[in-house]
Amino acid sequence: MADGRLPILRPEGNVPESPRLHPGAGEEAAVPVLLTRREDATSWFESKVSGALGWARANSLFQYPFVTACCGMEYMSVMCGRYDLARFGAEFPRFTPRQADLLMIVGTINVKQSPVLLRVYEQMCEPKWVMAFGVCASSGGFYDNYATVQGADRVIPVDVYVPGCPPRPEQVLDGLKILQEKIQTQRHVLHSVERSPEMREDKKRSFLGKLLAK
């Protein structure tokens, strides 16, 4: 609020979501638990590695523009010379979801299209983030009718919403900065095995943890 802007709401967000590493003012710090020295050292290293990975991931977002409607015009504007999203580390649109980290939903999502959007999202490799570009993708916008999905977050989880019909390029840049902040504060592990439930307890270590445990 220091710069007069509304606080950024941080929802329980997208995969992979994790506790904040550096809680802000007003948020509770992580409850300290008993750690062995090795675990202490591991988590310290992990937090450093996570910070570096977050920095790298936040500044090399490869986007997949899922352009469906008139917001596409503004997308072109934001990618071109005057505003140039590439300056902020979202350089290159990839037109295959398999090579992208950031799914930009640019335009109206109607019901007939929602399976396609879901398929595109599922084809993206982890880690992945989603930006809803324009009010149509965020909430359905003024298409409050039988044909339109009332927000892309009904179909796939969305990380950042950029309102506006269409949003100004500055808003998109702002949304990208917010997303980068989110990525920076997420916990990134080199190799996560914690998600598969069938893993045995002693194997629940990250790659770095295994390396240090040797």
Partner 1 sequence: MAQALVDLLRDNFKEAVLSSHSHRGDEVAVVRRESVQEICRFLKDGEARMQLLRYIACVDLLTYDTEMTGGGALASNEVPAYDLAKKAPREPRFQLGYNVYSVVRKQSVRLRVELRSDDVKVPTVTSVWRTADWWERYLFDMFGIDFIGHPNLKRILMYPEFQGHPLRKDYPTRKRQPLVAELEFPDLIRGPGPGPGGAGVPMSQTHVGRKNVDPTTYD
Which region, judged by CB under 8 A, interacts with partner 1, from 47-55, 82-90, 152-160, 169-177?
Answer: 152-160
Dihedral-angle region of residue 26 (phi above 0 means left; psi in -120 to 50 means alpha; beta otherwise) = left
CB of 129 to ligand SF4, least distance (A): 20
Q: How many residues bind partner 1 (CB under 8 A)?
A: 21
Query: Considering CB distances under 5 to 8 angstroms, the limit depending on partner class, which of ligand SF4, partner 1, none binds residue 28?
Result: none
Tell me which residue of 130, 149, 150 sits closest to 139, measured CA to CA.
150
Nearer to partner 1, 182 or 188 (CB): 182
CA distance 25 to 17: 20
Which residues bind to ligand SF4, rule: CB under 6 A? Answer: 69-71, 107-108, 134-136, 141, 165-166
Beta bridge partners of 129: 102
- Coil, strand or helix: which one is 135? helix
Helices and strands: H and E segment counts in the chain: 6, 4
The sign of the dihedral angle between the CA atoms of 111, 112, 115, 121 is negative
Does 98 participate in binding partner 1 (rule CB under 8 A)? no
CA distance 109 to 131: 13
Chain residues 9-28 in contact with partner 1, contact rule CB under 8 A: 9, 11-12
Nearer to partner 1, 47 or 150 (CB): 150
Does 165 participate in binding partner 1 (rule CB under 8 A)? no
Nearer to partner 1, 107 or 209 (CB): 107
Q: In the stretch 112-151, what mask flags binding to partner 1 with x, by CB under 8 A? A: x-xx--x---------------------x---xxxx-xxx
